[in-house]
Amino acid sequence: MKILYHHRTQAEDAQGIHIAEIIKAFRNLGHEVEEVSLIKTKSKEVQAPNFKSLTSRRSNVWSFLTRFSPKTLYEAIEIAYNFIGYQKLSQAIQKFQPDFIYERYALYTFAGVLAAKRYGIPIILEVNAPLAYEQKVYGKLVFPKLAESLERWITSHTTKTVVVSTPLKKHLIGLGVPAPHLEVIPNGIDPEQIHPGVSGEGVRKKYHLESKVVLGFIGWFRKWHGLEMLLEVMAEDSFKQTPVHLLLIGEGPAYDSLQKYVKMHALSDRVTFTGPIPHQQVATYMAALDIALQPSATPYASPMKLFEYMGMGKAIVAPKQENIEEILIHNESGILFEPSNKKALEEAILKCVQDASFRRRIGRRAREQIFERKYLWKENAKKVIQLVQKAL
């Protein structure tokens, strides 16, 4: 099939990796993919967790405007993008003649649905978060009712809307999107890149961690990742008597405040910040971990790092909430603790630290679940193709 992939992201953090991986999966299945966006992905230049690729003067102008404009102008620009997006999609459809459009959802972006309707081709929309709700909660919307109304309309008027978790499906149903219109497809991995055979010894030597039990988090450091609580746990007396070391891999908005906390509480000998790393080195850094951490997560997410931890066969500690429980089984493929409970997080980590056989066992089981439940980008691409074939 010929697939037109449309997105309106800046291709940063996990977004860019997700886009690159699903495009690669489609191509590996023998399909032809053309990308329509302001900022095109370049899989060979991926920086993880910071994924940036500015490819044109237009994209630089867009980046400047969306970062520095007042709220009202920012949202007006997001809405105005539809004129650009519709034009670019129309040109691509006429030239490429795709069998369907695959679109990554962005707030206010209805150009894909309009183009699909005009040219009579299917459109599959991938929704990773309830953006209208999310932006409203954080007080970033000037037009919250418009955003919510458009979100409902867009997600209801596709051929099929793919969501990454059951809680996200429930949220959209609550907005008025028909349940049969929604398909849950969680995130995945590429098992050729993410597997237990990758060695992390070089990373452990680099940071002098050979004799340590290494805890780790990899990603884009944001407030909702719970890293502040994790550092508070590291400062507890129970950890001062154990040979543990925390590796924080990546960067992000919370980076400076986390560093300040570490210095203020004299944790520098037990906490290491690696800074951003190239995407091709992600697996080696994860391989260096004994225990992989997800201290917090939004209730509707399908955290990409969880699948990568599973693919590496790591013992995982994560919050006990619906979207995580549909990925991990408590005490079988991970340890789940009461969300936002510092003491529960501490106890869960210590259980893994003190019992090496237990953490190896749950790590192996996590790896097995990747294949049993088909948490693979290639399988996700197959499911999408099946959805389109049913619609044709």
Q: Which domains does the chain have, with CATH numbers?
A: 2-188+376-391 (3.40.50.2000), 201-372 (3.40.50.2000)
Looking at residue 68, its pLDDT comes to 52
| Sign (positive or negative) of CA dihedral 227, 297, 344, 194 | negative
Looking at residue 16, its pLDDT comes to 83
Looking at residue 42, its pLDDT comes to 55
Looking at residue 10, its pLDDT comes to 67
Looking at residue 46, its pLDDT comes to 33
Residues of the chain with pLDDT under 70: 10-13, 39-69
Looking at residue 44, its pLDDT comes to 37
Looking at residue 138, its pLDDT comes to 76
Looking at residue 223, its pLDDT comes to 78
Tell which residue, 119, 207, 127, 113, has the closest CA to residue 173.
127
Looking at residue 66, its pLDDT comes to 53
Contact between 105 and 83 (Cβ < 8 Å)? no
Separation CA 112–CA 125 (nearest Å): 9
pTM over 0.85: yes
Tell which residue, 295, 219, 292, 279, has the closest CA to residue 252.
219
Looking at residue 202, its pLDDT comes to 97
Looking at residue 72, its pLDDT comes to 84
Q: Count CB atoms within 10 A of the CB of residue 56.
A: 11
Long-range pairs, 24-32, Cβ under 8 A, ≥24: 24/190, 24/377, 25/190, 25/377, 25/378, 25/380, 25/381, 26/102, 26/381, 26/384, 28/378, 28/381, 29/378, 29/381, 29/382, 29/385, 31/1, 31/2, 31/3, 31/381, 31/385, 32/1, 32/2, 32/3
Tell which residue, 181, 198, 167, has the closest CA to residue 297.
167
